[in-house]
Amino acid sequence: MSEFGVPINKDDDNGSPSEELSAVPMSKNSGNRFVAFVLDKDLKSLDNDDLDLMDMHQSRIALTEEHVMFTRKTNLYNETFNTESMADILWSHQLLASDLKRVVGHVMCIESTTVEYAQDVLSRDPIVQMLTGGDTSNIPFYRWRHLRDFTLRNDDGRDGKPTLLLAMDRTAEDGVGDLREESNKDHLEYLIRSDRVIATGSLYLPTAFKDDPSSLPVGDLLLFNTNDREDAVDFVENDPCAKNGLYESMRVFRCNSIDVTGKFVAENLLDPEKNKPTVDVKEAMEYWGYPVDDMQTRWLNS
């Protein structure tokens, strides 16, 4: 297959051209980004006040592998496999307790053409199934407008420890007024000069359409690098939005990134001998239900 996705012919063992192979299609699910905050204690406390936090941690850890494979399968679709997929999971981050000894939740970024498709994928997440039986009504869910300004550093945390801030605005009844708009320029300058931002953007009400006037900003999601929790708290509290009184609440979590891409096998065309170590991975992928022999996913096959 061409590097640029152009159909090519590939000779078979006899040296004659084989059936023309078509490229893996581009995602059909782009258009809207949503984020869901799956916080274990918040969801479990709805039905049970006697929580054993370590048991919750162990239950989540037991499902981590299934969660990873669920996200990867959701993202891997083509003309012969998973054709009904209507959403992509762009990233998933585990959230850690302040003592770094427990996983307390996860945040997923879902891209889809509609709110309904995104929420459907969220409801089928194995961890959400464990926590709520697939009920997403109490899971905080927002439209996310990812700020992709090139002047903001886009790093994966290699120069620090990846940390997530969920900051929610005060309500209009609290007199928040135009604080978001008034603080925006200083807020962006602060983030750019910090040289520590991984990704950021405002959270909006999840209306059906981006341009719906009722899709109002309600908070901010910020992923950034930090040295430790004290440094993280100091950084977010000195953000102009926080100093100007925009936020009603600010929650900071250390986070672990989960590989949701699933594209972890590639054919070495220059040295076929180097493909041998991928056999075990190919068998594992077959075990998990990935296509390993179909003609649409040639990057998986030798």
- Domain CATH for 168: 3.30.70.1060
In this structure, is residue 6 part of a structural domain? Answer: no
- Mean pLDDT score of the chain, rounded to an integer? 81
Number of domains into which the chain is organized = 2
- Answer yes or no: do 34 and 127 share one domain: yes
CA angle 193, 195, 197 (to 5 degrees): 110
More confident residue, 283 or 91: 91
Distance, in Å, from the CA atom of 191 to the CA atom of 194, rounded to the nearest integer, reads: 5
Where is the domain boundary, 104, 139, 174? Answer: 139
Range of the domain at 50: 25-139
In this structure, is residue 164 part of a structural domain? Answer: yes
Residues near 251 by beta carbon (within 8 Å), at least 6 away in sequence = 165, 166, 167
Predicted TM-score (pTM) of this structure: 0.80
Where is the domain boundary, 139, 154, 178? Answer: 139
Average pLDDT of 26-39? Answer: 86
More confident residue, 285 or 47: 285
pLDDT value at residue 1 = 36
pLDDT band at 52 (very low <50, low <70, confident <90, very high): confident
7-21, 114-128, 279-293: least confidently modelled range: 7-21
Distance, in Å, from the CA atom of 220 to the CA atom of 173, rounded to the nearest integer, reads: 19
Tokens of 250: 């600010």
Average pLDDT of 92-120? Answer: 94
Closest CA to 254 of 61, 93, 71, 36: 93
- Answer yes or no: do 96 and 173 share one domain: no
In this structure, is residue 13 part of a structural domain? Answer: no
Average pLDDT of 87-92? Answer: 92
